[in-house]
Amino acid sequence: MGLTDILRSKICSPTEQYHRPTNLTRAYHVISSGPYNTWKTEGKLWELSQQSMAPLKKSKKPKRKAKDSTQCKPNPGPKTAEPKAEFDDDWWYTFWHKNSGPTIPLEEEAAFKCFFRVSKNTFEYICSLVREDLVSRPPSGLINIEGRLLSVEKQVAIAMRRLASGESQVSVGGAFGVGQSTVSQVTWRFVESMEDRARHHMKWPEPERLEEIKASLEATFGLPNCCGAIDATHIIMTLPAVESSDDWCDQERNYSMFLQGIVDHEMRFLDIVTGWPGSMTYARLLKFSGFYKLCESGKRLNRLVKMTEEREEIREFIVGDSSYPLLPWLMTPYEGKSLSESMVSFNLKHKEVRLLALKALLQLKGAWRILHKVMWRPDKHKLPSIILVCCLLHNIIIDNGDKLNHDVALTNHHDAGYKEQMCQQVDSSGQAMRENLCRHLQYCEASLV
């Protein structure tokens, strides 16, 4: 069974990483098709593009704090039994009463989802995932102002409220009657546990499931053998004044970290890559991903070549906007003003599928506002884990049958203020594939007349 690409590093400049300098150490990973070597880079990179889509088991050895030599421009203890002391079991009603207001629904279930983005049943499921970790290694100081130990449920609520609201640790702590330090500890312990315990909620589909995805996309949008859509977004942050590197400064002069995601017909994340600086282009981010390597080597998006009625070959593919290169397995829209009717028709259907990825990112950053608000001096080693867990929570909502709350989604664009990048790379095989799709759509439209 494959493991995910997780790149942890001795700190080096992300710019140096692009050129793969010889003084970097190698990290050994296993993917669905076998082992390969990859390079370590700044902080921690999350890449979920293998079969299990899960983090490597964390080492039992004590972690050494990485020495951060990168300069950027201004702008557990032993296992113990569950404590026998009194727990704060009535936290929800206390919290609801304290934080109710004109924007909070009066009905209990609706209010719960407003605060935590999930139903009570899904919340209980999440608690069951992390309970062992949160109970077995309780840090000191996890008590509320009344001196009662924090229950697992209240710890999960604190962490999820922090992720959902994006409010400061002080504000979240005040809402729950705990201190800033407690919010920080609880949130990070929750994130670490979810990395390990919820990994099965994000993986590349098995063949049978992939056939269901392709059938749904073709029935809805008319594109045969389409497996999903890809897009990327920037997670904006401020950096300490003592740092003075442009590596994290993106095209809009914001300091940011990239998140690339591939989604299915239900807006479920099948694959993500994060941890890379926002200064990269979409095309470069794609090429540094394990997903790209798997597709280029024929180990992904390769299972079936569909023959259309007009004998055109259509291989498995995903769709992306013009920020990406045109490849045999990645279809981008036609550009220009003098387009034929079949090209225009292709672009319309292509856009409809592509909007799935855009809407998924709007939903993700709207529901988990910590990703949308400007992060104040985040730990770049921890930020990829936070991004990953928000994506896992997004998938859990879908997998558990909760409806995504579109009222919390962003209303404009997940990267508001960013101009679309244009990639001029065109692969001849990709060009031929796109023409085959065009002819197929033209044939289908003609047969309906």
In a domain, 44, yes or no: no
Tally of helices (H runs) and strands (E runs) in the chain: 13, 12
- Same domain for 224 and 347? yes
Domain closes at, from 178, 199, 220: 199
Q: Which helix (H) or strand (E) holds 260?
A: strand 255-263
Phi-psi region of 258 (alpha: psi -120 to 50; beta: other; left: phi over 0): beta
pLDDT score, position 137: 64
- Same domain for 258 and 185? no
Q: How far from each other are the two terminal CA atoms of the chain, in whole angstroms?
A: 49
Distance in angstroms (rounded) separating the CA atoms of residues 262 and 354: 10
Structure tokens, 115: 């605060």
Of 406, 326, 395, nearest in space to 363 by CA: 406
- Same domain for 234 and 273? yes
pLDDT score, position 445: 80
Instruction: Give the relative orientation of helices 341-367 and 428-448 as an angle to the nearest 10 degrees.
Output: 110
pLDDT score, position 128: 97
- Same domain for 224 and 171? no
pLDDT score, position 193: 97
- Same domain for 210 and 195? no
Residues linked to residue 232 through DSSP beta bridges, in sequence order: 260
- Same domain for 321 and 348? yes
In a domain, 254, yes or no: yes
pLDDT score, position 299: 94
Of 273, 131, 112, nearest in space to 198 by CA: 131
- Same domain for 330 and 427? yes
In a domain, 380, yes or no: yes
Structure tokens, 299: 């180990």
- Same domain for 247 and 395? yes
pLDDT score, position 138: 61
Q: pTM for the whole thing?
A: 0.80
- Same domain for 378 and 441? yes
In a domain, 120, yes or no: yes
Task: Please answer whether residues 183 and 192 qualify as being in contact, where contact means their C-beta atoms are separated by less than 8 angstroms.
Answer: no
pLDDT score, position 77: 43
SS3 of residue 426 by DSSP: strand
Distance in angstroms (rounded) separating the CA atoms of residues 218 and 437: 12
What's phi and psi for 254, nearest 5 deg?
-100, 150
- Same domain for 308 and 442? yes
Domain closes at, from 167, 199, 231: 199
- Same domain for 101 and 223? no
Residues linked to residue 319 through DSSP beta bridges, in sequence order: 229, 331
In a domain, 297, yes or no: yes
Distance in angstroms (rounded) separating the CA atoms of residues 200 and 2: 12
Gyration radius from the chain CA atoms: 23
In a domain, 29, yes or no: no
Domain closes at, from 199, 233, 262: 199
- Same domain for 386 and 415? yes
In a domain, 85, yes or no: no
Distance in angstroms (rounded) separating the CA atoms of residues 150 and 439: 62
In a domain, 58, yes or no: no
Structural domain for 123, as ranges: 91-199
Distance in angstroms (rounded) separating the CA atoms of residues 49 and 8: 16
pLDDT score, position 208: 95
The pLDDT averaged over each successive group of 10 residues in the chain (449 residues) is 37 38 28 31 52 39 45 43 47 76 77 91 96 78 61 94 95 92 94 97 96 96 96 90 72 92 98 95 95 96 76 91 97 93 94 97 95 83 95 98 83 75 91 93 78
Q: How many domains does the chain have?
A: 2
Structure tokens, 76: 């557990």
